[in-house]
A and B are shown apart, each in its own frame.
Chain A
Amino acid sequence: MGETSGSNRMRPKLGKTRKKNKYPAKKVSATVKHDDFYISENNRLTYSYKLDVKNKIAEVTCVSLDIKIQDEWMTIVYYDSYHEGQLHRHPRISYFDPSDAPTMFGVKRKGSQNKLLRWAIKDIENNWLVYKQGFIKRSNISNNNTDIPEIELY
Chain B
Amino acid sequence: MSKNTITTTNVALSGKLMDFLVSTPEVSKKYYGYSYVVFSKDNSQLNEVNNDLVDDLKEEGKKVVKAEETNKKNNPWEFSIAL
Contacts and interface: CB of A to CB of B under 8 A. Distances in A.
Interface string A71-109: 000000000001110101011011011111111111000
A45 to B, nearest CB: 21
B2 to A, nearest CB: 12
A141 B19 contact: yes
Interface of A: 3, 5, 8-9, 11, 13, 16, 18, 82-84, 86, 88, 90-91, 93-94, 96-106, 134, 138-139, 141-142, 144
A102 to B, nearest CB: 5
Contacts of B38: 101
A102 B36 CA distance: 7
Contact of A101 (B17, B23, B25, B52): B17
Given A103-B10, A105-B11, A82 B60 contact: yes
A13 B35 contact: no
Instruction: Give the interface residue-count category, chain B.
Output: 20 to 34
Nearest to A13: B55
B78 interface: no
A90 B7 contact: no
14 contacts: A9-B59, A86-B56, A90-B35, A93-B28, A97-B28, A97-B32, A98-B33, A101-B18, A101-B38, A103-B10, A104-B53, A134-B15, A139-B22, A141-B19
Contact of A144 (B19, B25, B55): B25
A18 B56 CA distance: 12
A83 B60 contact: yes
Contacts of B25: 96, 142, 144
A101 B34 CA distance: 9
A99 B56 contact: no
Contacts of A9: 59
Given A101-B14, A101-B35, A141 B28 contact: no
